Chain A
């Protein structure tokens, strides 16, 4: 493949030649020679087409945002010697090279092998493909080039960073028959004292209340508050209008982190967790227990990208048909429109316990603009509007207005039990 420079050199030579002949100027005719010599040298040493075999190895194919993966690219030249070879291992823009390089120029003798090593750090969650490798054999004079694509691709799955919710008291208020960690208003297996009753054969010896037995001269057993588990449904608002901020720091990405943290925390307390994501489509994960469910939720959250224009009230439709009625609904939304108020009121009217976790879009935007008087005034006006909306929502739900610059556990801890016991 010739480059435009070859054509330009030829044009210069022809112009000098024809101009010289027209003007009868022999020095001008002579000037056609240097470009021709460059062209001749270029054609004598034309770059061959690269014939490469590539093997790419990653030290890990699953990682979280902010951690690093090492990529080792082994290149073998199975064709003619390549004097000047430009190699690019194409990366998605979300992967940043932190060490080494994915783009180099080198020479490769026949059957020679080289290894390129570089490290990448993802800035955003998602499934990414590295490759296919692109190689270009170059002419040092820039007169020609031969391209090749080596179809070697690798995939990298990047999970969102998880918000730590250590010591936050977050759990369903209504319980179901399965054992768990949530105190229920039923007698059962647990650690909280409930009352004393007469001993019946079969009672555990450890449950005998010896003090009461000695006093009444008959055996008495302690009864405990049963600890059971409940259901939590996380609703993540990932509509386009909720993606306020930069591509890497926006309310949807922060919401994803929070959703993962909430899911992990609630599953660790032996509750069932389900997920509904409202984006281009409504997708959901039915409630289930355990570590496997956390991975299922994680897989869904990895693919969340902001999109879709529908109102939040569409979630109600899915929730009432596919999810248990006595679940705690944790809505993660920046609450950018007043329609969300209607949606939350509808959910409360259906009998759901609703808790709202709202990453504040005002705080996200405030950090992106220069601190001017106008920006401050606008911030105050918008803050009043938001506080008004939150106050109305607090009539039917518990609301955490969260500044994403602080760890989520802090506002949750400050609230005490969340949601409040009835």
Chain B
């Protein structure tokens, strides 16, 4: 088991590494643009985004950090929508990585302060288990988000991507319908849950 110090360092470094990777990827794509003037202005925008992230981290201004990440992602997609052709697989991977970077930042904000405290071995074990579960969930969500979308693209443009069978297509259609249905019903489900908790499971206090 990694020591608490290493865990805190990792938790802090992973979201930064993800953002750095996204920025590097965007920069590499920018260099493929033939117009030098446009490249220069987009590189300036990218650098400004990174500066915003750095300032946000240095002065503990999370709003600036978020703004920087949004600008990095917008630079990439703006370039691919208006200047360069868009590769769907790469774009999906980029967006999924951006989402995972956000999730990693949330994970770090939740767990790093707890690991920074002097924990007893038993407490540390509990927190580490919770951290592992959360990390696993984020990785799984990222994987499903990327693969599901990739397969959907395959369904929509059968022939452009290798996986194209009728059962896959049916499964993906069903999954898409389920997702839309869940999103549509989410507020209703949430209200019902709130009602049932308030009525049936009031918070108890010891007598």
Contacts and interface: CB of A to CB of B under 8 A. Distances in A.
Nearest to A135: B203
Contact of A28 (B86, B126, B127): B86
Interface stretch (B29-37, B38-46, B96-104): B96-104
A149 B203 CA distance: 8
A140 B134 contact: yes
A27 B114 contact: no
Contact of A83 (B86, B133, B148, B206): B133
Interface string B126-147: 1101110110011001001110
Interface string B119-131: 1100100110111
Contact of B99 (A35, A86, A99): A35
B144 A41 contact: yes
Contacts of A19: 81
A138 interface: yes
A101 interface: yes
B183 A107 contact: no
B201 A27 contact: no
Interface string A142-179: 10001011111000000000000000000000000000
A105 B95 contact: no
B203 A99 contact: no
A23 B91 CA distance: 16
B113 A103 contact: yes
Nearest to A55: B206
B197 interface: yes
Interface stretch (B6-14, B19-27, B53-61, B150-158): B150-158
B86 A46 contact: no
B205 A53 contact: yes
A101 B118 CA distance: 7
Nearest to B134: A140
A33 B130 contact: no
A99 B120 contact: yes
B16 interface: no
A27 B141 contact: no
A50 B138 CA distance: 22
A31 B138 contact: no
Contacts of B114: 101, 103-105
A285 interface: no
Interface in A125-139: 138
A104 B123 contact: yes
A34 interface: yes
Interface in B48-96: 77, 81, 86-88, 91-92, 95-96
Interface residues of A, number: 58
Nearest to B197: A49
A37 interface: yes
A117 B4 CA distance: 19
B3 interface: no
B171 interface: no
Contact of A37 (B107, B126, B137, B148): B148
A138 B193 CA distance: 15
A86 to B, nearest CB: 7
Contacts of B28: none
A34 B183 contact: no
A39 B178 CA distance: 12
Contacts of B92: 30-31, 33-34
Interface centre among B77, B111, B113 (most CB of A within 10 A): B77
Contact of B86 (A27, A51, A114): A27
Q: Most B CB atoms within 10 A — which of A27, A31, A83, A116?
A: A27
A141 interface: yes
A105 B120 CA distance: 14
Interface string A317-337: 000000000000000000000
B156 A26 contact: yes
Contact of B123 (A101, A141, A146, A149): A101
Contact of A152 (B99, B179, B206): B206
A141 B141 contact: yes
B117 A103 contact: yes
Contact of B95 (A34, A53, A150): A34
Contacts of B138: 140-141
A54 interface: yes
Nearest to B140: A41
Contact of A51 (B88, B148, B204): B204
B163 interface: no
Contact of B204 (A9, A78, A100): A78
A106 B130 contact: yes
B91 A138 contact: no
Interface centre among A33, A38, A78, A116 (most CB of B within 10 A): A33
B17 interface: no
A417 interface: no
Interface string A393-419: 000000000000000000000000000
Given A34-B95, A101-B117, 17 more contacts: A2-B190, A28-B81, A33-B145, A34-B145, A37-B141, A37-B148, A38-B141, A41-B141, A49-B197, A51-B197, A97-B117, A116-B123, A140-B138, A141-B137, A151-B203, A152-B205, A152-B206
The 6 tightest CB contacts between A and B, nearest first, are A33-B149, A140-B137, A142-B106, A34-B145, A37-B145, A140-B134
